[in-house]
Amino acid sequence: MALKSTICKVELSVADIDRGYYRDHSLTIARHPSETDERMMVRVLAFALHADERLEFGRGLSAEDEPDLVKRDLTGAIERWIEVGLPDEREVRKACGRAEEVHVLAYGGRAVELWWQAARPSLERQERLSVLELPAEASRALAGLAGRSMRLQVTIHEGHVFVGDGASSVSVEMRTLKSPGKR
């Protein structure tokens, strides 16, 4: 018998001073049985970094060839494709052909460096792609905020990200591995 996804509810307040975006989002996240708290919270962080009324979670680990998060225009065309973790570079290249923007939020400690060394020659040529690295300490600290029902506040200012739940907070400073339009 297959295990079912765990449903998590998140009340997310985003204050993105850099973009001038200030909104509350009520999110329902289906957490795949094989998904860790860390990966789920990195998906929530990715949502906060790109927050928009039309941004939605994909089907996740159970669906290949689908992003972790996606923003579509009113015609259904993909504007923004977002992956978390260490995606296969062929899938990232394919996504660059399907979406106006592709973002990868890589996490996993030393594995990120190894993944980037292998994928970099191919991915550096993708002009629509941005790749950010989330430090291992930050992703582990975010996992500590995970729960079935969460109330999170995210503040983004000058590239610094602060995630809090009222009782504790996590400071996140990501490293840019690739910016869009740059080789």
Closest CA to 63 of 42, 90, 37, 91: 91
Q: For the segment 145-166, what is each residue's pLDDT rounded down to a tens digit? A: 999 999 999 999 998 999 999 9
Q: Across the strands, what pairs with 34? A: none
What's the pLDDT score for residue 95? Answer: 95
Measured distance CA(158)–CA(173) in Å, rounded = 10
Chain-centre distance for alpha carbon 2: 26
Q: For the segment 83-101, what is each residue's pLDDT rounded down to a tens digit? A: 999 999 999 999 999 999 9
Pairing of β 149-157 and β 129-133: unpaired
What's the pLDDT score for residue 182? Answer: 60
Q: For the segment 23-77, what is each residue's pLDDT rounded down to a tens digit? A: 999 999 988 888 999 999 999 999 999 999 999 998 765 556 789 999 999 999 9
What's the pLDDT score for residue 94? Answer: 95
HSE value, Cβ hemisphere, 13 Å, CA-based, for 75: 3
Sequence-distant (≥ 6) Cβ neighbours of residue 96 within 8 angstroms: 102, 126, 127, 128, 129
pLDDT tier at 183 (50, 70, 90 boundaries)? low
The fold of 6-178 is Restriction endonuclease-like alpha-beta roll fold (3.10.640)
pLDDT tier at 177 (50, 70, 90 boundaries)? very high
Measured distance CA(16)–CA(139) in Å, rounded = 20
- Say which amino acid occupies 4: K
Map tokens 């980037």 to a residue: 116
Q: For the segment 14-37, what is each residue's pLDDT rounded down to a tens digit? A: 999 999 999 999 999 988 888 999
What's the pLDDT score for residue 32? Answer: 85
- Give backbone dihedrals phi and psi of 82, rounded to 5 degrees, phi first: -125, 130
What's the pLDDT score for residue 106? Answer: 98
Closest CA to 43 of 97, 93, 82: 82
